[in-house]
Amino acid sequence: MNAFEVLSGRGYFEWCTNEERLSQVMNEEMITAYVGFDPTADSLHVGHLIPLMALGWLQRLGHRPIALAGGGTGLIGDPSGKSKERNLITLEAVQHNIEGVKKQLVKFLNFDCGKNSALLLNNYDWLSKMTFLEVLHDVGKYFSINSLIAREYIRSRLEDPEKGISYTEFSYVLLQAMDFKYLNEHYNCRLQMGGNDQQGNLLAGSDYIRRTTGAEVFGLTQPLLLTSSGTKFGKTEAGAVWLDPEKTSPYKFYQFWYNTDDRDVEKLLKLYTFLPLEEISSIINEHNTAPEKRTAQKRLAQEVTTTVHGADTARSVITASEILFNPKIDFAGVSEETCEMLKGEIPFAKITGENFGVVNILSSSGACESNGEAKRAIRQGGVSINGVKITDEKAEIQRDTLINGKYIFVRIGRKKFNMAEFV
């Protein structure tokens, strides 16, 4: 399969320095491509994933990917698309963040598969060795101030006296161009990819290489996604959706994908999964026959959660979702991992003592504010504990029916759900 056609067919292509020639090269030889990330945090978020998925597809099609950590450029900060100056971070913070991101890259790239094994490099290793005079003498003369000022994001900040742009951020494009040249000379890297806000930087790097060594290189951008409602993809009311489970829990991660709008789900299946297009087409056809079943969203959420958090965690998350949204679920066999996961997602309480009366459970778990409210809820017929409907106010739960010997799940009506642990 021609890698360029695959990237284009799945939506990873928006702009290229030379589309026809890059397609030809990809068809004739193994090409080395890189994507850079500035480690401003110790985790990637879903907004980073499109270029990374594009790298993953290139590797699966026989090409070699490089993930470039911006240990050097991260100290500066890329001004592309930014309306104000970034806060500078320390070298120690950058190194810490790189270590966090390393653990996530292996979910998408194979670093031990022979000649096209992925590489993780850090541009601090070469940028830190250059002196200021060397940068000015060997690099700066190839960059026109006129063309840099013409860039929209720079011009807009220059025109606002309260914002402006520092010489530090203004020089970022030189560093990224130096990266591309270094990778081209030392690893025969011929393709740089990034979001479409990187088009100016990619053009500058390609032109710098052409003018200094004459090597043939390419730049290719992926779209910055907006949802059908016009919002930036990957943002929620709580902020960015992170790959780190400590920043975004696997349950919330799964729910983010599950809640995808019908209008977006096919596009996201193509961009964020490694499923073949034929299978995606089949999933969408099935989904369209009964959209209320959310078949496509379930598969999208399952695939991405499995890639990022592993198959076992994905299964636990799916079970957790079933517990909360499927009143007919069988609680037998619910794992300890699923129970631990739900502790952080729904109202949770610990119950001490040996009173297993349902009224006590309802009030002690926080599902009801008082014993009187618990009795009324039972009389109204909307209470179930561990999936069993409760109709008798005097009923007791047997200890041997507790989930994993200690948990109970209380549902009142369709939407109220509480969890408790007997200690």
Which is nearest to 386 in space by CA: 374, 373, 399?
399
Among residues 96, 102, 235, 416, which one is catalytic? 235
235 belongs to the catalytic site? yes
The 189-195 sheet, strands edge to edge? 15-16, 218-222, 189-195, 32-37, 64-69, 119-122
Among residues 231, 236, 380, 391, which one is catalytic? 236
Amino acid identity, residue 297? Q
45 belongs to the catalytic site? yes
Helices (H) and strands (E) in the chain, counts: 19, 13
Angle at 32 between CA 203 and CA 56, to 5 degrees: 100
Q: Which residues pair with 417 in a beta bridge?
A: 411
Distance between CA atoms of residues 94 and 79, nearest Å: 17
Among residues 96, 102, 197, 270, which one is catalytic? 197
Task: Output 259-266 pairs: Cβ under 8 A, ≥24 positions apart.
Answer: 259/297, 260/296, 260/297, 260/300, 260/301, 261/227, 261/228, 261/229, 262/287, 262/291, 262/296, 263/228, 264/227, 264/228, 265/296, 265/297, 265/300, 266/296
Which is nearest to 173 in space by CA: 84, 76, 33?
76
Residues near 176 by beta carbon (within 8 Å), at least 6 away in sequence: 36, 73, 78, 201, 204, 205
Among residues 176, 192, 248, 319, which one is catalytic? 176
231 belongs to the catalytic site? no
Q: Measured in whole angstroms, how far is the alpha carbon of residue 102 from the centre of its chain?
A: 14
96 belongs to the catalytic site? no
Q: Tell me how long the chain is.
A: 423
The answer to whether the beta carbons of residues 72 and 258 sit under 8 Å apart is no
197 belongs to the catalytic site? yes
236 belongs to the catalytic site? yes
Tokens of 1: 């399969």
Tokens of 20: 């026809």
Which is nearest to 387 in space by CA: 342, 327, 337, 343?
327
84 belongs to the catalytic site? no
Among residues 45, 102, 107, 416, which one is catalytic? 45
Residue 135 CB coordination number (10 Å):
15
Q: Which residues pair with 403 in a beta bridge?
A: 407
82 belongs to the catalytic site? yes
Among residues 232, 343, 350, 379, which one is catalytic? 232
C-alpha dist (Å) from residue 351 to 231, 367, 374, 377, 403: 43, 12, 16, 20, 14
Among residues 82, 210, 247, 270, which one is catalytic? 82
Among residues 10, 17, 42, 48, which one is catalytic? 48
Just list the catalytic residues. 40, 45, 48, 82, 86, 176, 197, 232, 235-236
